[in-house]
Structure 1
Amino acid sequence: MSNRPLAAAGRLVPLLRAGLIAGIVLAALAYPVAAATGIGAKVTAHALEHKTKILTSALPAETSYLYAPDGKTVLTMFYEEYRQYTKLSDISPNMQQAIVAAEDSRFYQHRGVDPKGVARAFVANARSSGVSQGASTLTMQYVRMALRDSARTPKEVQEATQQTSLRKIREMRMALDLEKELSKEQILERYLNSAYFGHRAYGIYAASEIFFSKPPKDLTPVEAATLAGLVKSPSEYDPASSDQKDATARRNYVLDRMAQLGYLSPDDAARAKREPIRLKLTYPPNDCASVPEKWNSWGFACDYLKNWWSAQPAFGDNRLERMDKLRRGGYRIVLSMDPKIQEAAEKNVGTKENTGSPFANGIVVSEPGTGRVKAMAVNRTYSLNLEDNPPSNNPEAGPKVKANYPNTVAPLLGGGDLPGYQAGSTFKMFPMLAALDSGMTLNTTFNAPYRYRSEVYDGWAPSNASGAMSGVQTMWSGFGKSVNTYFVWLEEQVGADKAVRLAEQLGLRWRTDVDREHASPAKAKKWGAFTLGVSDATPLEMATAYGAVAADGRYCEAIPVQAIFNRDGTPTTYRTASGIEREVAKPRCRQVVSADAARAATDAARCPTGDTPARGGCGGWSTADSVRGTVGRPVAGKTGTTDSTRSAWFVGYTPELAAASFIADPDNPFNAVGDGQSQIPINAVAQTLRDALKGKPTREFNPPSDAIVG
């Protein structure tokens, strides 16, 4: 008996099966809900319609850009998928034609699903007993990409990418619905902005920049065909590989298809196929470590921007959501840094202590009345490469732990998770300000002994730095000479807890267990040493707190930006608890103490700097009397040192700027700076203020009233 009829029947079975499946698909086009139900779909028609509506408004993840204050100079980018959304009118027709030729030649004829393509694919796959052809249209591919990009749970990711008949039917149904909502041009635009081209290039703008260093509107037919060929398999057809054989073959296939569809003449296609693939690769920067070398110190401001961003409820409910927004939201962020002030800050810390020193000398400059950070500089190189750093000199650190110099990305200036440094007598501002705001006067007098035994603080007996500080003091002289016993007594009068709470209102945070315990409501009343600055603080906090005094008691949260724009160019906003819509980049200010109290505190704070107060006398000498002469205009401030001068500080301000500088060993707080270097932060602040304000009109401080002078 012959087997030929059986063999023929065997060859027909796959074709019959293919025809049957194609018939089901065609039925799905006419009755999509019924077809989906017939294969066991659990998703209701209503749910699919809802998802389709979401896709009509959904946009793919987009790169966020960080700009210098000019709003033009790109410092770095933030992205998980490097992408910049580009309108179809800004994409070369060559690219539009190439992607249609490569992926869906009947794109302009079908309604989202191509019945001929589906049938052809099923027949080809049946004959090969595998998957040799796909049937996805550009619209279906876009649906798949959009579902993947919008997925927020592992289940949604699985549903968007799993290789099942259910997923395919769902894509078909949604593609049909999508084409009722969007034009072919809108779908093509979204597809070209969603597709992955390899080398971390998501979307045509990124692909054009990365492979050819040009905008997509300038792509030639050869370049467009090369990029269009990548979508099918970015790694297999990678033109940047050492062997361009596969990439060239795929490009030539696309050029042939463009000729067949009438997009290119046969002669132009043949000529284009003879051209080699000429790449001009660009590797886009990502994150703060990619800030250009000439802007290296701005890396610390960039890092602060990220920490600030992660704490803003406007960008999500938690840190992960907020950082995801930064890397996917397509924001345009303009830093508040002032290049002139930043240059002055860099110069005046870099010349005081070199990058190879274990002692960090840093400075932060902020703007009173807005809280905007104008400069952040420290004698370190912003770099992730710690290989050449010496071992840490902290005896508690392990032998493999590296020191944070000369390279580091640690937030040494504030805004991160480091606790900071003991700020010494700069904290005397807080009990003085609390006392003035409670009704005490600048002429509040106390005969301050060398050593003072405090009954309020259970017999604690601090002393002054020298016997010359003893005697009758007022707030002017006590602050100017930094008389410990006067300020412990003053803190007793107003209550240490009130000084602590005021410091919190001015932006200070307690980051160590010891500080949190002392600052707690149960113990703050007994925290007598608070006025001597035993708590850790950062220069960012201190510049902002003193900036509130300069702004007549109006505290403004520290903010590293002057503008943030959404991907559509509108300012980024959030809604306050009271329902008011506000721009995220706008200053957030509140009156913390009365204007008169702040003006009185400033009058006393002119004494440490060698300046002349408006209403009183400083009592002869001061702790930083060179500052007024250096700055050359009205200036206030306060020095601060800790036990054994383990750290030294100076916080100074004019009506326009507030600056805080410190010197300490961030790796080992027990490594004393020494008295000989306590002048370094004084000079850093004075010289930075001088250079930053050069050429600007001199402004006077507002004097306090007669009532608060006393």
Structure 2
Amino acid sequence: MNRDRSVASNASALLICGLLAGLVVAAAAFPALAVAGLTAKTSADGFKNLPAVLQEPPTPETSWVYTKDGKLITSFFDESRKQIPLDEIAPVMIDAIIAAEDNRFYEHNGVDLFGVIRAAAANQSSDGVEQGASTLTMQYVRQALVYNAKTNIEVLEATEDTPERKIREMRYAVSVEKELSKDEILERYLNLVYLGNQSYGIYAAANAYFNTTPDELTLPQAALLAALPKAPGTIDPTLENDEAQTNAVARRNYVLDQMVRTGAITAAEATEAKDTELGLDVQAAPNKCVSVPADKLDWGFFCDYFTQWWAGNEALGGTPEDRMAMLNRGGYTIVTSLESDLQAKAQNHVTSRVDKDSTWAMGTVTLDPTTGHIRAMALNRDYKLDQKDNGPSTNPRFRANDVKGSYPNTTLPLLSGAPLGSEAGAGFQVGSTFKMFTMVAALEEGIPLNLTLRNKSPYPSKEYYAGSTPSPASCGRMKDGLYVWCPGNDSPSYQDVTANMWNAFGRSINTYFVQLIEMVGAEKVVAMAERLGIEWRNYVDRDYSEPGCQEHPDLPEDEWPCLEPDRWGSLTLGVADSTALDMAEAYGTVASGGIHCNPLPVVSITTSTGEAVDAAQPDCERVLSKAVADAAADAMRCPVGQQSHYGKCNTGTFSQANSIVGRPIAGKTGTTDHSQASWFVASAPNATTAGFIGDPDYRKSEVPGYMHNLPHEAASYTLRDALKGMDTVDFKKPDEAMANGKNLVQVPAMDCVSPEEAESRLQNAGLVPNRVEGERSKCAKGEVYGTSPSGSLPKGSTVDYLVSTGKERDDRVPATGTTPPWGPQTPPDGELPIADLPPNCQRWMC
């Protein structure tokens, strides 16, 4: 047999087979129509069951997050995409994609019969797949089905290389062309197509490759982008090796040649475009909080709270996972409450005092208490995952194992806190800033600001104990064998005075607020803290805050702690952990008149179609009567060096705040036991700032004395800046009943009378007597030498009458390191000689 003739015969046979195969495919796709009819407009009878995803495909889009003044913080996406209308895409881009992918786009009705026949013949002759016949419409159909597939089987059905899949695409394509115009199909395709480099759709690609927008694309740029749908995984112009660059240029030039063939450009224009460099200006699309601008890494902590808020907001989805999926796919435009100018100032006030390389973390949070909007979150840290160059941990155990510390880079939510059980996100003990909650709870119970109490340090609590073993905060034993809790004042010469609530708050007198929580009940202080916005972020605090035994993930059930809120007397001195955000929220509630607003990091949320989302609205409710809030705020003027409306403030623990801020403000300082953290919260009725300093890596580190006031300064200057340009709002004068009480009676004086006489005097005055074994006094043992409270009280109040333990003596304080005559634990006859305790029992920071 003649070999040449045999080869020719085989080639002819293959060509005929290919032509027949193309006709078979077309006929199979359209059994109700004549094959010739495919080149004309048809009614597409039988193709009415078009999937909903092809009618309006819900494609994933990027969500964009901005500051209040319009600066991009970051974006969130599974696929970087932004939907845009066709008229915002340069015409040259449209010409390029048609030339590259479907040059008969305007001539067919979804299926290009000639393309099908040509591809079938080519593939038959090559014994493989050499050419495709997919039109732009068919490509759109395939991509829409893939994006909206819910199972692996649906994905496979949308992509498998089978005649059945091709036929289904053809049927759907004809139906799509019947329902949509050519421009609508082009718009959907260009918004859907993957173009490599994490870019989905033309908007993302224009930015990713050229740092431009689709309407500004040039001819060479458009040709390169049009080259990518064919093989975005292999044609990667961002790779710097020669092969990648050669392939990208070759594919771009192919598209330019195709554009000449379609008449979109001239040969001269193509030649000029081929002579240009690729001209890439590659931009990595920011994704999530680790991608905030490099010169604004402090924004990451605000962004981190925003994601917490979003995931926890039930209005945005059924579960946290659903909500985050919507953020990553929903195409929202989110304007946050972060004010970039105020944030920069707040950050400077922090880092100019404690730099980012310090082991001490210092930060402030500023919010608008009337809406809950968070205006700034400053911290002397950079929000970064890369911590390989961090300094060593200050925790001795971790440091010995070369564990890195959280400075200068961290993603710990030190300002806003983390869910229960995360030690690093629990915040810090807040010290005396927590006295505010006891004060508000007392005011709500009808106890007036003018409540006057004797303050001796240490003070043996009548209600609360210090545990079953002795400690620096214990003295003597109670009847059940537990040790009496005996907190003291940090500066007896300044704080061991008789004081009303104004001065007790201004001087931060521990013993006053221990007596106050005894009157109110610790469980009511717990409830008040929760009402004002405090969340319990460690297991000990959680266990105390809830009655009964509480589940603990690290303990067997028979060892779950069974602490009770009514035994949590030390809460009044701030032993609980909290965060700057929670404290700003709580103090702002009181300062603004008793209306609590949940912290809110957003001003508006808009869908990709321009609809507003209600979740961006402030969530506020009244949690305190205005009378209670006004009274508490009046006492809160004292610590910051301002005067109450009743003229009762005579000193403050950070009076410098008055001159720094220069507006009516209220606030409180706080230092924890052993100086493990220092706090300051200050608030006007329309702005609040809370600041702290502490070591997040080792909570036992003691803040040096010279650093105690640094958060006070940073918070005060930040509040000053936050109030600039805002109206000056003053606090309201509390009503007379909240200041001085109502139905008042005078507490009778006690001048070494018998307990029986003391009870008679109190009962005759309309008061309820309560015997308390006091201390040595000018009176003989067993005689009553005073009361607590004193002054005027509402009728029916309980008053302690103090029974002397013996006359005072000059040598009552033993030298340091010696043992009192009655031994190390219990004095004779059950006495509690307060002044005879060793000095270490008097240490309790204010």
Letter in 2 for 1:465: D
Corresponding residue for 1:681? 711
| CA-to-aligned-CA distance 1:315-349 (integer Å, 9 cap, x gap) | 32233332232222222222212344323322221
- Counterpart-to-counterpart distance in 1, 2:309 and 2:378: 17
- Counterpart-to-counterpart distance in 2, 1:169 and 1:671: 72
Corresponding residue for 1:599? 630
Corresponding residue for 1:403? 405
Corresponding residue for 1:539? 580
Deviation at 1:666, TM superposition (A): 0.5
* 1:485 equivalent in alignment to 2:516: no
Task: Tell which deviates more after alignment, 93-102 or 204-213.
Answer: 204-213
* 1:587 equivalent in alignment to 2:612: no
Q: Which of 559, 564, 568 is the equivalent residue of 2:605?
A: 564
* 1:248 equivalent in alignment to 2:279: no
Deviation at 1:265, TM superposition (A): 3.2
Q: Higher helix fraction: Structure 1 or Structure 2?
A: 1
Q: Cα distance 1:636–1:190, how it changes in 2: closer, same or farther (>3 A)?
A: same
* Contact in 2 for aligned 1:450/1:470 (Cα 8 Å): yes
Q: How do 1:197-212 residues align onto structure 2 when only pairs under 5 Å count?
A: 197-212=195-210
Q: Which of 421, 429, 446 is the equivalent residue of 1:422?
A: 429
| CA-to-aligned-CA distance 1:563-615 (integer Å, 9 cap, x gap) | 222223332x2xxxxxxxxx222211111111111111101111111211112
Deviation at 1:51, TM superposition (A): 6.5
Letter in 1 for 2:460: R
Corresponding residue for 2:167? 169
Corresponding residue for 2:213? 215
Corresponding residue for 2:368? 367
Q: How do 1:23-42 residues align onto structure 2 when only pairs under 5 Å count?
A: 23-30=24-31
- Counterpart-to-counterpart distance in 2, 1:302 and 1:186: 36
CA RMSD of aligned residues (A): 2.7
Q: Which of 511, 515, 534 is the equivalent residue of 2:537?
A: 511
* Contact in 2 for aligned 1:539/1:661 (Cα 8 Å): yes
Deviation at 1:424, TM superposition (A): 0.9
**Can you give the 5+ residue segments of structure 1 that lack an aligned partner in the other structure?**
33-44, 574-582
Q: Which of 436, 448, 451 is the equivalent residue of 1:441?
A: 448
| CA-to-aligned-CA distance 1:429-462 (integer Å, 9 cap, x gap) | 1121122223332223333332333343354332
What SS does structure 1 have at the residue aligned with 2:75? strand
- Counterpart-to-counterpart distance in 1, 2:50 and 2:363: 52
- Counterpart-to-counterpart distance in 2, 1:317 and 1:236: 40
Q: Cα distance 1:361–1:176, how it changes in 2: closer, same or farther (>3 A)?
A: same
* 1:550 equivalent in alignment to 2:591: yes
- Counterpart-to-counterpart distance in 1, 2:207 and 2:629: 53
- Counterpart-to-counterpart distance in 2, 1:669 and 1:376: 22
Q: Cα distance 1:284–1:346, how it changes in 2: closer, same or farther (>3 A)?
A: same
| CA-to-aligned-CA distance 1:43-75 (integer Å, 9 cap, x gap) | xx99x977722332224322222222222x223
Q: Cα distance 1:608–1:218, how it changes in 2: closer, same or farther (>3 A)?
A: closer
Q: Which of 193, 210, 224 is the equivalent residue of 2:222?
A: 224
Letter in 2 for 1:640: G
Corresponding residue for 2:569? 528
Corresponding residue for 2:51? 52
Task: Tell which deviates more after alignment, 314-323 or 124-133.
Answer: 314-323
What SS does structure 1 have at the residue aligned with 2:498? strand
- Counterpart-to-counterpart distance in 1, 2:198 and 2:78: 8
Q: How many residues align?
A: 685
Identity %: 45
* Contact in 1 for aligned 2:17/2:124 (Cα 8 Å): no
Deviation at 1:9, TM superposition (A): 7.2
The TM-score normalised by the length of structure 2 is 0.76
Q: Cα distance 1:152–1:321, how it changes in 2: closer, same or farther (>3 A)?
A: farther
* Contact in 1 for aligned 2:592/2:684 (Cα 8 Å): no
Corresponding residue for 2:78? 80
* 1:137 equivalent in alignment to 2:143: no
Q: Cα distance 1:29–1:387, how it changes in 2: closer, same or farther (>3 A)?
A: same
| CA-to-aligned-CA distance 1:412-442 (integer Å, 9 cap, x gap) | 1115441111111111111211222233322
Q: Cα distance 1:372–1:275, how it changes in 2: closer, same or farther (>3 A)?
A: closer
* Contact in 2 for aligned 1:18/1:126 (Cα 8 Å): no
- Counterpart-to-counterpart distance in 2, 1:404 and 1:338: 26
Q: How do 1:298-313 residues align onto structure 2 when only pairs under 5 Å count?
A: 298-313=299-314
- Counterpart-to-counterpart distance in 2, 1:247 and 1:160: 28
* Contact in 1 for aligned 2:358/2:407 (Cα 8 Å): yes
Corresponding residue for 1:191? 189
- Counterpart-to-counterpart distance in 2, 1:634 and 1:119: 83
| CA-to-aligned-CA distance 1:349-397 (integer Å, 9 cap, x gap) | 1222122211111111111111111111112233333222112111343
- Counterpart-to-counterpart distance in 2, 1:525 and 1:326: 42
Corresponding residue for 2:318? 317
Q: How do 1:70-109 residues align onto structure 2 when only pairs under 5 Å count?
A: 70-71=69-70, 73-109=71-107
* Contact in 2 for aligned 1:52/1:178 (Cα 8 Å): no
* 1:651 equivalent in alignment to 2:653: no
| CA-to-aligned-CA distance 1:501-528 (integer Å, 9 cap, x gap) | 2212222211211111111133212211
Deviation at 1:192, TM superposition (A): 0.8
* Contact in 2 for aligned 1:370/1:589 (Cα 8 Å): yes
Task: Tell which deviates more after alignment, 85-94 or 59-68.
Answer: 59-68
Deviation at 1:147, TM superposition (A): 2.2
* Contact in 2 for aligned 1:450/1:466 (Cα 8 Å): no
- Counterpart-to-counterpart distance in 2, 1:235 and 1:258: 23
Letter in 2 for 1:149: Y
Which structure has the larger Rg?
2
Q: Which of 646, 652, 655 is the equivalent residue of 1:615?
A: 646
Q: Cα distance 1:604–1:250, how it changes in 2: closer, same or farther (>3 A)?
A: same
